[in-house]
Homo-oligomer: A and B are copies of this chain.
Amino acid sequence: MQPIRIGILGVGTVGGGTVKLLQTNAAEIARRLGREVVITRAASRNLERAQRVCGSDIMLSTEVADVVTSADVDVVVELIGGTTVAKDAVVAAISNGKHVVTANKKLLAEHGNEIFALAEQNNVMVMFEAAVAGGIPIIKALREGLAANQIESIAGIINGTSNFILTEMREHGSAFADVLKQAQELGYAEADPTFDIEGHDAAHKLSIMSALAFGTPLNFHHCYLEGISRLESQDIRYAEELGYRIKLLGITRKTAAGIELRVHPTLIPEVRLLANVNGVMNAVQVQADMVGETLYYGPGAGAAPTASAVVADIIDTGRLMGANAGNRVPYLAFQPTQVQDLPVLPMSEITSSYYLRVSAQDEPGVLGEVANILAARGVSIEALIQKGVVCHETAEIVILTHSTQEKHITAAIAEIEALPRTFAPVTMIRMESLHG
């Protein structure tokens, strides 16, 4: 059979990793696929670096157009990143009838609805395993492996930088700022770490998984975002005393009222596998009606793991290039005509359990006042520890609640902060049992 001809856009970390993988494992891939995968063209801003990576058999250019319009390219692999050049390139590739493989979570989360509609018009595939959780084949699990299920919820550790920081904070009792600096020195965090530590990256990935799970359009712009930069080490310590660990989770859940879609630090019981996912590793737990709980773990970033996902998509695309649209898996797991726009719930309407830390004067009666406020809102308490005097005359009360709607907690916190003997703000962290 004819080789599958690849055009690569962007020869940076992941692009270079993809070129290298296709060279290293060429024989093994051909043994599986029954045909060869050949990179015919590549575009890069930096031709010199591209030459070093690609050698002399690949036609190089600084122009995206030389790849996406080329007659000797079947599949365009977009590894530029971002939503400007990359978006134009993907649109041009699709319009030229090329299949697309991309690792670009931001592009798909923000413009996926438009891109998939255009791809459908042009009868081409757009594959994106590498866009979520790096080397873990979670897109395949959601689109195909769990296709017999009604998926109920997803909870994932899908940002390696944040998980590295939280792991270090817990293991060494360090402060956020110190660990961030260390992560930057190790190359695990960018000079401007906002995108990772404030949850944007996780929200991109989560909104892609949410659409695949529930058959909705991509809803990134409605995703709630809360990062880890304000997390204090004493909360990690108190959580641990109570048998919990704090992870930055992306959580999406289908309820009768709509979709929950949220990224925030979350207490989870230490016995759960997700609580034991450490360092830069990623993991995604999926709850579905028939299979129950499944979990997928692996490296969420890095040149070789991401290339593993990119090339798996190239292999799938190669297999189905000549087939009909009906032989392919739908872009967002559901047939385009069957995608249903369900409302994303505002945070006031989500259901969760909560960790609250209240600073108060170390006097009798305060605990009772706090408990009464929660009771009046119908919030029941699962556990409570009074930490005694932490400094001067201030005591800390740590409360774990049972599950309730967030608006009740928000209202209760306002009342607790208004008590004469408490000191605002009350620290609130959401909590998930992650069970059944």
Q: Which A residues are within 8 Å of any B CB, using their own CB?
A: 1, 21, 24-25, 28-29, 31-34, 129, 135-137, 140-141, 144-150, 215, 271, 273, 276-277, 288-299, 302, 304-305, 307-312, 314-316, 319-320, 322-324, 326-330, 333-335, 338
Which residues on B sit within 8 Å (CB–CB) of A135? 290-292, 294
Asked if B288 and A292 sit within 8 Å, CB to CB, the answer is no
Which residues on B sit within 8 Å (CB–CB) of A145? 129, 137, 140-141, 312
Closest to A136 in B: B294
Please give 7 more A-B residue pairs, beta carbons under 8 A apart, in addition to A129-B145, A291-B298: A25-B290, A32-B147, A135-B292, A137-B145, A273-B273, A290-B305, A323-B324
Asked if A333 and B136 sit within 8 Å, CB to CB, the answer is no
Which of B148, B298, B307, B335 interacts with A315 by CB under 8 Å?
A: B148
Closest to A293 in B: B298
Q: How far is the CA of A335 from the CA of B310 in the complex (A)?
A: 21
Selected A-B contacts with CB under 8 Å, 30 pairs: A28-B150, A31-B334, A32-B215, A32-B335, A33-B147, A34-B338, A129-B145, A135-B290, A137-B146, A140-B140, A140-B144, A144-B316, A146-B312, A147-B311, A147-B312, A148-B310, A148-B314, A148-B315, A273-B297, A290-B304, A290-B308, A291-B305, A292-B299, A292-B305, A294-B299, A295-B298, A319-B326, A319-B328, A319-B329, A322-B327
How many subunits of this chain does the assembly comprise?
2
Residue from the set A31, A140, A328 with the largest chain B CB neighbour count within 10 Å: A31
Asked if A148 and B25 sit within 8 Å, CB to CB, the answer is yes
Q: How far is the CA of A302 from the CA of B137 in the complex (A)?
A: 24
CB distance from A331 to the nearest CB of B (A): 12
Which residues on B sit within 8 Å (CB–CB) of A148? 21, 25, 29, 307-312, 314-315
Which residues on B sit within 8 Å (CB–CB) of A137? 140-141, 144-146, 294
CB distance from A432 to the nearest CB of B (A): 17
Asked if B315 and A215 sit within 8 Å, CB to CB, the answer is no
CB distance from A318 to the nearest CB of B (A): 10
Asked if A296 and B299 sit within 8 Å, CB to CB, the answer is no
Q: How far is the CA of A98 from the CA of B291 in the complex (A)?
A: 27
Closest to A282 in B: B294
Which of B21, B297, B322 interacts with A295 by CB under 8 Å?
A: B297
Asked if B294 and A298 sit within 8 Å, CB to CB, the answer is yes
Closest to A297 in B: B295
CB distance from A33 to the nearest CB of B (A): 8
Residue from the set A302, A311, A326 with the largest chain B CB neighbour count within 10 Å: A326
Q: How far is the CA of A304 from the CA of B215 in the complex (A)?
A: 22
Which 6 residue pairs spanning A and B have beta carbons closest together?
A137-B145, A148-B311, A294-B298, A135-B291, A291-B308, A31-B338
CB distance from A83 to the nearest CB of B (A): 26
Which residues on B sit within 8 Å (CB–CB) of A276? 271, 273, 276
Q: How far is the CA of A215 from the CA of B277 in the complex (A)?
A: 31
Residue from the set A34, A290, A292, A327 with the largest chain B CB neighbour count within 10 Å: A290
Closest to A307 in B: B290
Asked if A304 and B330 sit within 8 Å, CB to CB, the answer is no
CB distance from A1 to the nearest CB of B (A): 7
Q: How far is the CA of A333 from the CA of B34 in the complex (A)?
A: 11
Closest to A37 in B: B148
Q: How far is the CA of A291 from the CA of B130 in the complex (A)?
A: 11
